[in-house]
Amino acid sequence: MKYTRSWIFLLILLITYLSGFIVKAQNPSIGNISGNFQLDGQYYQPDASIHALPVPQKILSNSFFNLNYQTEILSAGIRYESYLDALKGYDQRNKGNGIAYRYLGFHKDGLEITAGNFYEQFGSGLTLRTYEDWSLGYDNSLDGIRAKYSPMKGIYLKGLIGRQRLFFDYGPGIVRGGDFEIHVSELHEGLSTMKTKYILGGSFVSKYQADADPIYKLPENVGAFSGRLQINRGNFSLGGEYAYKVNDPSTVNNYIYKEGQALLVSASYSKKGLGISLSAKRMDNMSFRSDRSSSGNVLMLNYLPALTKQNTYQLANFYPYASQPNGEMGLQAELEYKIKAGSLLGGSNGTQLSIHLSGINSIDTVSTNTEYGYHSDFLKVGKKIYYRELNILATRKLSKSLRLHLSYMYLIFNKDVIQGVPGFGIIHAQTGIAEIKWQINPRNSMRTEWQHMYTVKDKGSWAMGLIEYSVSPHYYINVFDNYNYGNAIKSDRLHYFSASAGYTKNTNRISLGYGRQREGILCVGGICRNVPASNGFIINISSSF
Amino acid sequence: MGRKIIFVAWLVFSSSLANAQSEKKKLPDVQVNSLEGVKTQTSTWNNQEKPILISFWATWCKPCVEELDAISEVYENWKQETGVRVYAVSIDDSRNTSKIKPLVNGKEWPFEVFNDLNGDLRRAMNVNNVPHTFLLNSKREIVYEHNSYSPGDEEEVFEQIKKLTQVK
Interatomic CA distance for residues B132 and B143, integer angstroms:
14
Looking at residue B12, its pLDDT comes to: 52
Please check whether residue A14 is in contact with residue B16, taking contact to mean a CB–CB distance below 8 angstroms.
Answer: no
Side-by-side strand order, sheet with B112-115: B39-41, B31-34, B112-115, B85-90, B52-57, B132-136, B142-146
CB proximity list for A477: less than 8 A, separation 6 or greater: A468, A469, A470, A499, A500, A501, A502
Please check whether residue A227 is in contact with residue A262, taking contact to mean a CB–CB distance below 8 angstroms.
Answer: no
- Asked which of A149-163, A336-350, B16-30 is least confident by mean pLDDT, the reply is B16-30
DSSP assignment of chain B:
-HHHHHHHHHHHHHHHHHHHS-SS-B----EEEETTS-EEEGGG---TTS-EEEEEE-TT-HHHHHHHHHHHHHHHHHHHHH--EEEEEE---TTTHHHHHHHHHHTT--SEEEE-TTSHHHHHTT--SS-EEEEE-TTSBEEEEE----TTHHHHHHHHHHHHHHH-
Residue A20: pLDDT over 90 = no
CB proximity list for B133: less than 8 A, separation 6 or greater: B53, B54, B55, B56, B67, B145, B146, B147, B157
Collapsing DSSP to helix, strand or coil, A422 comes out as coil
Q: Comparing C-alpha atoms, which of A70, A46, A71, A66 is closest to residue A56?
A: A46
The residue type at A228: R
Over range A449-465, report the average pLDDT: 94
Over range A241-262, report the average pLDDT: 95
Give the phi and the psi of residue B79 in degrees, each rounded to 5: -65, -45
Over range A265-292, report the average pLDDT: 94
Confidence band for A219, pLDDT divided at 50, 70 and 90 = very high
Within 13 Å of residue B83, how many CA atoms lie on the same side as its CB? 13
Interatomic CA distance for residues A446 and A436, integer angstroms:
8
Over range B26-41, report the average pLDDT: 91
Over range A403-418, report the average pLDDT: 94
Residue A281: pLDDT over 60 = yes
Interatomic CA distance for residues A135 and A532, integer angstroms:
15
Over range B93-109, report the average pLDDT: 90
Within 13 Å of residue A237, how many CA atoms lie on the same side as its CB? 23
Interatomic CA distance for residues A172 and A165, integer angstroms:
10
Residue A32: pLDDT over 90 = no
Residue A444: pLDDT over 70 = yes
Looking at residue B22, its pLDDT comes to: 46
Interatomic CA distance for residues A328 and A334, integer angstroms:
20
**B162 close contact with A: CB closer than 8 A:** no
Give this prediction's pTM: 0.88
Interchain CB distance below 8 Å, B16 and A17: yes
- Asked which of A22-31, A164-173, A360-369, B102-111 is least confident by mean pLDDT, the reply is A22-31
Over range B1-24, report the average pLDDT: 53
Interchain CB distance below 8 Å, A305 and B152: no
Over range A1-25, report the average pLDDT: 53
Interatomic CA distance for residues B31 and B39, integer angstroms:
6
Looking at residue B151, its pLDDT comes to: 81
Residue A3 CB-density burial (10 A; 0-12 exposed, 13-18 middle, 19+ buried): exposed
CB proximity list for A67: less than 8 A, separation 6 or greater: A33, A34, A35, A77, A78, A79
Chain A environment of B152 (Cβ under 8 Å): 439, 442-445, 472-473
Confidence band for A159, pLDDT divided at 50, 70 and 90 = very high
Chain A environment of B39 (Cβ under 8 Å): 156, 183
For an interface test with A, give the residue of B126, B132, B149 to mutate (most A CBs within 10 A).
B126
Looking at residue B20, its pLDDT comes to: 44
Confidence band for A507, pLDDT divided at 50, 70 and 90 = confident
Query: Mind spelling out the 3-state secondary structure of A85-117?
Result: CCCCCCCCCCCEEEEEEEEEEEEECCEEEEEEE
Neighbouring CB atoms inside 10 A of B6's CB total: 11
Residue A1: pLDDT over 50 = no
State whether the Cα torsion B98-B102-B103-B108 is positive or negative.
positive
CATH T-level assignment (fold) for domain B26-165: Glutaredoxin (3.40.30)
Q: What whole-number percentage of chain A has pLDDT above 90?
A: 70
Please check whether residue A86 is in contact with residue A95, taking contact to mean a CB–CB distance below 8 angstroms.
Answer: yes
Looking at residue B78, its pLDDT comes to: 93
Chain A residue with Cα closest to B156: A473
Over range B147-154, report the average pLDDT: 84
Confidence band for B6, pLDDT divided at 50, 70 and 90 = low
Angle, nearest 10°, between helix axes B62-82 and B153-167?
A: 30
Please check whether residue A280 is in contact with residue A330, taking contact to mean a CB–CB distance below 8 angstroms.
Answer: yes
Looking at residue A253, its pLDDT comes to: 92
Collapsing DSSP to helix, strand or coil, A311 comes out as coil
What mean pLDDT, rounded, does chain B reach?
85
Q: Which residues make beta-bridge pairs with A118?
A: A142
Looking at residue A54, its pLDDT comes to: 85
Higher-pLDDT residue of A191, B77: B77
Looking at residue A298, its pLDDT comes to: 92
DSSP assignment of A347-388:
TTT-EEEEEEEEEEEEEP-EE-SSTT-EE--TTPEEEEEEEE
Over range B109-126, report the average pLDDT: 94
| Overall size of chain A counted in residues | 545
Looking at residue B21, its pLDDT comes to: 46
DSSP assignment of A494-517:
-EEEEEEEEEEETTEEEEEEEEEE
Give ∠ CA A137-A359-A140 in degrees, rounded to 5: 20
Confidence band for A506, pLDDT divided at 50, 70 and 90 = confident
Q: What whole-number percentage of chain B has pLDDT above 70?
A: 85
CA–CA min distance A56, chain B (Å): 30
- Asked which of A130-134, A522-526, A528-532, B105-109 is least confident by mean pLDDT, the reply is A522-526
A100-104, A366-370, B26-30 — which one is most confidently predicted on average? A100-104
Q: How many contacts, defined by CB atoms under 8 Å, are there between A and B?
A: 208
Interatomic CA distance for residues A418 and A337, integer angstroms:
31
What mean pLDDT, rounded, does chain A reach?
90
Within 13 Å of residue A467, how many CA atoms lie on the same side as its CB? 0
Give the phi and the psi of residue A273 in degrees, each rounded to 5: 90, -5
Higher-pLDDT residue of B73, A345: B73
**B12 close contact with A: CB closer than 8 A:** yes
Confidence band for B4, pLDDT divided at 50, 70 and 90 = low
Residue A515: pLDDT over 70 = yes
Q: Which of residues 35-64 of B touch A (CB under 8 A)?
A: 36-39, 59-62
Residue B3: pLDDT over 80 = no
Confidence band for A192, pLDDT divided at 50, 70 and 90 = confident
Query: Mind spelling out the 3-state secondary structure of A215-270?
Result: CCCCCCEEEEEEEEEEEEECCEEEEEEEEEECCCCCCCCCCCCCCEEEEEEEEEEE
CA–CA min distance B166, chain A (Å): 21
Chain A environment of B144 (Cβ under 8 Å): 506
Please check whether residue A222 is in contact with residue A252, taking contact to mean a CB–CB distance below 8 angstroms.
Answer: no
- Asked which of A43-52, A160-169, A318-327, B148-157 is least confident by mean pLDDT, the reply is B148-157
Confidence band for B45, pLDDT divided at 50, 70 and 90 = very high
- Asked which of A421-435, B5-19, B83-97 is least confident by mean pLDDT, the reply is B5-19
